[in-house]
Structure 1
Amino acid sequence: MMNRQTPTTIAALIAVALCGTASAQTLKIGLAAEPTAVDPHYHQTTPNEALLTHIFEPLVAMSPDMELRPALATGWRTVDDTTWEFKLDPAAKFSNGEPFTSNDVIYTFCRILNNETAIGGGATNVARRIAGIEAPDAHTVHLKTAAPYPVLPNELARIPMIWSGIAEFDKLTYEPAKGCGVTSKWPTVTEFNTGDLVVGTGPYKLKSYVKGSGIVLERNDNYWGKTPAPWSEVRMTAVPSAGPRLTGLLSGDFDLIENPAARDLKRIKDSGFEYTTKPSVRIMFFQLDVGRDSSPFVKSPKGADDNPLKDARVRQAMSLAIDRKAIVDRIMDGVATPANQYLPEGMFGSIIGAPALEYDPKRAKELLTEAGYPDGFELTLASTNNRYINDGQITQAVAQYLTRIGIKTQVDTMTSSVYFPRRARKEFSASLGGWGSETGEASNFIQYWITTRNPELGVGSSNYGGFSSAEVDKPYLEAIRTLDDKRRSELLQESVKHALNAMAHIPLHFESGVWAYRKGLTYEGRADQRTLATAARPVN
């Protein structure tokens, strides 16, 4: 006899199936570092940007291989040397159902320039380059710059758009100094962190954000994009130590973790799990305090008012003292590449055929003697211990290398939540940095870290060491106004060469992004090292 199922039976079976699917639709991620805010314009760090990418979207996005692609803007073009036109996607809408329009673009940039609670000036630097914004209609914006700015679309990939509806206004106009027509107060990081103002166009919505506890995202059922979010819920928990993070994966507490220790990759495979590695554009480096006569964590034999780091010979000696290959092989377990400049060769503006930075302790000692420090001096290296792959171990290794050439070096490591505000206050003499040039151009690192600080030009916001060189600044400033790609690349290479000669920023290596995950998943790594739930998908 044929077994026929009634509609009631079928409905029950579907309900059971959906319950099973729902439980499987939660993705649990173990993060190496906790995002410090849900405010999209607070602090441009990779953990923050990775979290925000789920909720907010920019006008232009970067592919996993750092190629520009449409996002909230369907296309863009130059109208003249100083005007960019962006066509907004008419289908784009926020999670509350409100359409995304040119008003939201104007409000976003106005808020960036009126954001008193921000740390670091990444978004501010971009906004300051925009001299005017015109909106011919609801889905067209003209961004005007004071001078030609060929990398504006690249820079916009790091600027999340926010909803103008969180503010009160009669008519928005791009006059940041006059308030842009906004009659309500400007939102703060605290207000964003409560979740009340977190309204984005991205595939996920914020369900909860509790510092020190975890982050929960839920699928945005109003998402306008062509590819819906693959998970109904995403749970993110920061576990700074690689060992406990891996234990969480192996025990089933996590489905996906970022930055497992390279030494554990074989164990991961042998335990039936998978991993993905991806070469990244993140340069690890030490920034030196070269702008002050007296530096807080330098003790010179010549007295308190002497700062040996101001001498380029000392800085070159420090670079020569470091065996980058050994650090990559022994500490990074091969999941990195020794750096000889600030962007991997082959990317726009990188030096073609750049020689490796030498490891020569003998020459390093000679340079110290030439600089007047035959017996060295005392120095403390500062670094995070929970932000980058093996950051504390890297710093310890560099300290040992410097000590061998006579620079008596100590190490002070701390969590990123303590470290970044202190570095911004210029409390260190030599600080570990990690920077992913997410525009895919050499100009990005130069702009933030090396050029002379100039808020009006939007450069040098991360130049905490006070480095200043006309030889670096002049070709860079010309490059960012040069529309001809060949000439711009030549100018950027010239700027990089001068920066390497000055060695106020000592390159170490380029990290590789590493993600480990359970069977039944696939994961697409990104060169910007962002960990995205949308990059993890169930295997069909």
Structure 2
Amino acid sequence: MKAGRLTQLALATALLAGGAADGRAQTLRIGLAAETTAMDPLSNEITSNYTATRHIFDTLVQTDAQQRPGPGLAVRWGARGERQWVFDLRQDVRFTDGSPFTGRDVLFTFCRILNNPTAAPGAFAEPVRNMENVELEGEHRVVVTTRSPDPLLPVNLANTAILSARAAGDRPMRFTPEDGCGVAGSFPSISDFNSGKAVIGTGPFALKEYLPGQRLVVQRNEGYWGPKPHWATVELRPVTAAGPRVAGLLAGDFDLIENPASRDLERIRRDGRFSEQITPSTRIMFLQPDTGRARSPMVNEGGPNPFRDLRVRQAISAAIDRKALVERVMEGAATVAHQFLPDGMGGALDPAPELPFDPALARRLLAEAGYPDGFSLVLHASNNRYVNDAKMAQTLAQYLSRIGIRTTVETMPVSVFFTRRRENEFSLNLSGWGSSTGEASSFLRHWVATASREEGLGTRNYGGYSNPELDAVLKEALHTMDDGKREALLRQVVSLTVRDLAAIPLYFESSTWAFRKELAFAGRVDQMTLAAEVQPAR
């Protein structure tokens, strides 16, 4: 009897502590560094949204923690000639509402991307706009015919969540996005997702509760086709200020947090209850100058725009000590950047020529450009999106002021920053971008290509940069099926971008996580925090 009572007591204690009889802990509480803007997984291509929606939705191609592509809802894929891709789909997969996953859901998803008026401009649309037709060969094979060769289509779909076609009803569907593909009624709206009505996925978790700006709660999908996650319930709460996020970890409110401030890392290290993980990422932090307008609102008192002169952009680059940014502001949680993708990745220069720190050269270049006394500037940045973003902006302003560019800083929450940047209200801003494909075209096609909605290029070219020579080589690269030839072309585009300083690279941000010592998490180079990858420490 005594042994029996002890067994019952041990079991009860385990359950109260968050464990379960099958050895799986019940709840994981995560403190996020940024808010999710919507539960619509196709509304915006930002990491905070991916982190939330990837718990619930799957993609055809999945990438691992090192951004290596592998099977997801598609078990295999391959090219038929130069303009067709064939995707063989995983069978015996069901959505959380019990409906089976088929090629019809893939077709519906592609159609909805082009019928999503509330999406951020160009979000997820680039690969789909190049699709001429999408056909189903049976229930589990999808054949995509592209208008022009698209060698990166599979990897470009790695962040495209597959939606349930339930809203389409039983009507026949066809790939005619201009007339709604035959969908009865309207496609699900962003409000349908935020209310939970349309949050139906095939991923490792299902939605339990979503309160915008407060918390997202998901529960284990017991019918998931892949390995079952360790956690029965996961609560993700945005705490955009690093101090309260760390305080929540130390107080036991969180089991794991994203991006503790570098100043708090030593405190966490000294506390024997916690571990940390620092993982290099592909996120390039850079300055984006307004090169497109003759007059720019936040520079030179609205007078002639100095950023149109290459020598001014070169002066700004030479004014900045990138090594000091990494060592002092980022406290080692970053690496110096002289280009837009880490060395060794597809299309990166090897080696990249070093961008010098030379204040004397910077002042000389300003004088040659006609600004011997400098000019005035407002530098804009977010204050809750990137690691140390507000502090970094202040440091950059000091460097620019030392060469005569009288710089003031305006920082704001990322929701305001993104809106104002999209409205082209800035003359120079601090931005970041993580390559979703692990190669150079991800940055180049979005940030430096001449803006073209029809071609899906320049969707984030808020500076208005335009270089016909660069555009021609980039377009050739994007349609070159041969991997070696494509990489050589991408290196040409990277070289042109660095030469022109269409964007001014600063550093690659590393991602940091802190968590209870009983847990293990290896981190991801794409900076997503996925509960299914958090495990008990061995």
Report the equivalent of 1:405. Answer: 403
Q: Is residue 515 of structure 1 aligned with residue 516 of structure 2?
A: no
For residue 264 of structure 1, what is the aligned residue in structure 2?
264
In 2, Cα distance between equivalents of 1:358 and 1:187: 51
Matching residue within 524, 533, 536 for 1:535: 533
1:263 and 1:305 map into 2 onto residues whose CA distance is: 40
Give the TM-score, by structure 2 length: 0.96
Asked if 1:59 corresponds to 2:60, the answer is yes
Deviations 1:4-25 (A, max 9, x none): 969xx99998677556525942
Counterpart in 1 of 2:424?
A: 426
Instruction: Provide the C-alpha distance between the structure 2 equivalents of 1:122 and 1:363, rounded to a whole number of angstroms.
Output: 40
Moved more, 19-28 or 346-355: 19-28
Q: Residues 30-179 of structure 1 correspond to what in structure 2 (within 5 A)?
A: 30-168=31-169, 170-179=171-180
Shift of 1:334: 0.5
**Could you tell me which residue of structure 1 aligns to residue 288 of structure 2?**
287
The answer to whether the 8 Å contact 2:129/2:454 transfers is yes
SS in 2 for 1:207: strand
Asked if structure 2 preserves the Cα contact closer than 8 Å seen for 1:451 and 1:460, the reply is: yes
Shift in Å, 1:85: 0.3
The question of whether the paired residues in 2 share the 8 Å contact of 1:122 and 1:448 is answered with no
Could you say which residue in structure 1 is the equivalent of 2:334? 336
Bigger mean CA offset, 434-443 vs 202-211: 202-211
Q: Aligned residue for 1:326? A: 324
Please name the residue that 2:235 is paired with.
235
What secondary structure sits across from 2:497 in the alignment? helix
| CA contact 1:258–1:516 (8 Å) conserved in 2 | yes
- Between the aligned partners of 1:362 and 1:457, the Cα distance in structure 2 is 42
Question: Residue 355 of structure 1 corresponds to which residue in structure 2?
Answer: 353
Is structure 2 residue 488 aligned with structure 1 residue 487? no
Kept in 2: contact 1:382–1:431 (CA 8 A): yes
In the alignment, the residues of structure 1 paired with residue 188 and residue 408 of structure 2 have an alpha-carbon distance, to the nearest angstrom, of 41
Once structures 1 and 2 are overlaid, which stretch shifts more, 121-130 or 81-90? 121-130
Contact 2:311–2:369 at 8 Å: present in 1 too?
A: yes
Instruction: For 2:64, give the aligned amino acid.
Output: S
Partner of 2:466: 468
Tell me by how many angstroms 1:438 deviates. 1.5
Give the corresponding residue for 2:186.
185
CA distance in 2, matches of 1:487, 1:85: 23
Matched residue count: 533
CA shift for structure 1 position 526? 0.4
1:364 aligns with 2:362: yes
- Give the C-alpha shift of residue 138 in structure 1: 0.6
* SS of alignment partner, residue 54 of structure 2: helix
State the match for 1:26 in structure 2. Answer: 27
Q: Which residue of 1 aligns with 2:441?
A: 443
Note the C-alpha offset of 1:308.
Answer: 0.9
Question: SS of the residue aligned with 1:180?
Answer: helix
How far has the Cα of 1:3 moved from its partner? Answer: 7.5
Q: What is the Cα deviation at residue 504 of structure 1?
A: 2.1
Does the 8 Å contact 2:85/2:143 carry over to 1?
Answer: yes
Q: Deviations over 1:312-357 (max 9, x none)?
A: 1111111111111111110000110010000001000000111221
Residues in 2 aligned to 1:241 and 1:114: alpha-carbon distance in whole angstroms = 35
Cα 1:305–1:248 change in 2 (3 A) is same
Shift of 1:248: 0.9
Q: Which amino acid aligns with 1:483?
A: M
Aligned partners of 2:10 and 2:289: how far apart in 1?
65
The residue identity in structure 2 corresponding to 1:517 is: F
* Matched-pair contact (CA < 8 Å) for 2:33–2:384: yes
Tell me which amino acid in the other structure corresponds to 1:265. L
State the 4+ residue runs in structure 1 displaced beyond 3 angstroms. Answer: 2-6, 9-20
The one-letter amino acid of 1:171's match is P
Q: CA contact under 8 A between 1:169 and 1:181: conserved in structure 2? A: no
Report if the CA contact (8 A) 1:297-1:379 is conserved.
yes
- Contact 2:167–2:187 (8 Å) recurs in 1: no
Q: Is the Cα–Cα contact under 8 Å of residues 338 and 354 in structure 2 kept in the other structure? A: yes
Partner amino acid, structure 2, of 1:534 = A
Task: Give, in whole Å, the separation in 1 of the partners of 2:313 and 2:63.
Answer: 35
Q: 1:212 Cα deviation (Å)?
A: 2.5
- Which residue of structure 2 lines up, in the alignment, with residue 524 of structure 1? 522
Please say if residues 168 and 184 of structure 1, whose CA atoms lie closer than 8 Å, have aligned partners that are also in contact.
Answer: no
Alignment-derived partner of residue 315 in structure 1:
313
Query: 2:455 maps to which residue?
Result: 457
Structure 2: give runs of 5+ residues left out of the alignment: none
Q: Match of 2:316, as an amino acid?
A: M
Contact 1:379/1:407 (8 A) holds in 2: yes
Whole-Å separation in 2 of the counterparts to 1:79 and 1:292: 44
Equivalent pair of 1:169/1:184 in contact (CA under 8 Å): no
Listed one character per residue, the Cα deviations across residues 499-534 of structure 1 (whole Å, up to 9, x for unaligned) are 111112111100111110012100121000101111
Contact 1:257 1:516 in 2 (8 A): yes
SS at match of 1:183: coil
Identity of aligned residues (%): 47
**One-letter amino acid of the structure 2 residue matched with residue 380 of structure 1:** V
